[in-house]
Amino acid sequence: MKIDLHSHTHYSDGHLSPTELVLRAHQMQLDVLAITDHDTTQALAEARMVQAREKRHLEIISGIELTTRWHGFDIHILGLHFDEDDALFQQRLLQQTHTRVERARQICDKLAKCGIEHVFDDAMVKVGPGQITRAHIAQVLLERGEVSSFQGAFTKYLGKDKRAYVSANWIDIATAIQWIHEAGGVAAVAHPASYDMKTKWLKRLLAEFSALGGDGMEVTHPNMQPTKKTLLANLALEFNLKAVVGSDFHFPSRWSELGKRLDISSELTPLWQDWECLATFNKESI
Ligand code: AMP
Ligand code: MN
Ligand code: MN
Ligand code: MN
């Protein structure tokens, strides 16, 4: 079974539409795909509609990547396999949308003080009906020639503690877990190796997440070094967290693709082990 539980569409900072993402998942021979846009589930309806017309099976899992704040770090929490039509959950997400828009305004105010004006309006045109992210702002800076690369927008302006960085009023981790659980889903720490924190802090994060009732953590990434993979596998075992695999796909490139190189150690318990919709798959080897 080929599974990828972390992907984005143009409803957040992915480049593909939900339709294009589903068709790409077929091309890549995926059996299971979770769409996990930043703080929105808007892509799911279109994705399911397109899949309903396809002959080849693809199990689409509801997903989201919630932004939280923990000791000064922006920590991303994946919500998976919940009821995307849950009215309370959707209402709660409006708070995150509000935080995103307000933070984007504040970032653009800081950019204006650096002499780069009216970025917000240009970014919102790119966003369309989805969620604004720093990636949209980075793209505007790149297109205007203010930076020479997308990455450069983060190292110069948007990254943690850079000139236009804004520490936003995100929900805390406990709230994210609660929202996801109350919508019937499971919660997992996204890309634990990417937070630029010492292992001691990472352990603190995972211990707290587990104690708060969190269910799992991502344990691999397509380009992850074997030593990192071993570290994450050991941490998942130590903190009793189930394993999640995902590519964090945003767009096709030489480095990122759906469902590639996401194998995990057999010692780990897959988070999707009990999902009824995968019962036929889970009887086979993964
Ligand atoms: P946001 O959720 O609005 O803070 O934006 C975060 C998104 O921006 C991430 O999911 C990445 O896709 C992208 N991003 C964040 N930091 C970087 C970085 N240093 N380089 C490139 N992309 C980044
Ligand atoms: Mn992203
Ligand atoms: Mn993330
Ligand atoms: Mn992501």
Name the residue with tokens 């990472």: 202
Backbone angles phi, psi at 38, to 5 degrees: -65, 110
Closest CA to 251 of 1, 12, 2, 3: 12
Q: Extract the tokens encoding 110.
A: 């800081």
How many Å lie between the centroid of ligand 4 and the Cα of residue 50? 22
Centroid of ligand 2 to alpha carbon of 254 (angstroms) = 17
Nearest CA to ligand 1 atom 21: 151
What pLDDT is attached to residue 284?
62
- Average pLDDT for the chain: 96
Q: State the average pLDDT over residues 173-200.
A: 98
Token pair listed for 126: 């790119």
Q: Which CATH class is domain 3-85+184-285?
A: alpha beta
In this structure, which residues have their CB less than 5 angstroms from ion ligand 2? 13
Q: Which of 105, 134, 247 to mutate to test the pocket of ligand 1 (most atoms within 8 A of CB)?
A: 134
CA separation (Å) from 62 to 67, 106, 139, 200, 236?
A: 17, 31, 28, 32, 23
Q: How far is the CA of 65 from the centre of ligand 3 (A)?
A: 7
Q: How far is the CA of 154 from the centre of ligand 2 (A)?
A: 13
Q: Say if residue 198's pLDDT is above 60.
A: yes
Task: Give residue 106 CA to ligand 4 midpoint distance, Å.
Answer: 23
Nearest-ligand number for the alpha carbon of 12: 2
CA distance 219 to 237: 11
User: In the chain, pLDDT over 90 holds for what percent of residues?
Assistant: 95
Question: How much is the pLDDT for 283?
Answer: 67
From the CA of 134, give the closest atom in ligand 1. 3
* Per-residue confidence band for 280, with pLDDT thresholds at 50, 70 and 90: confident
Q: To the nearest whole percent, how much of the chain has pLDDT over 70?
A: 98
pTM of the model: 0.97
* pLDDT tens, position by position, 231-274: 999 999 999 999 999 999 999 999 899 999 999 999 999 999 99
**Given this model, what pLDDT does residue 281 score?**
82
Tokens representing 272 are 């999707």
pLDDT single digits (tens) 88-146: 999 999 999 999 999 999 999 999 999 999 999 999 999 999 999 999 999 999 999 99
Residues with CB under 6 A from ligand 1: 13, 38, 67, 74, 133-135, 151, 154, 159, 250
Q: Directed axis angle between helix 226-238 and helix 199-211, to 10°?
A: 40
**Ligand nearest the Cα atom of residue 76:** 3
- 144-147 contacts at long range (C-beta below 8 A, 24 or more positions apart): 144/116, 146/116
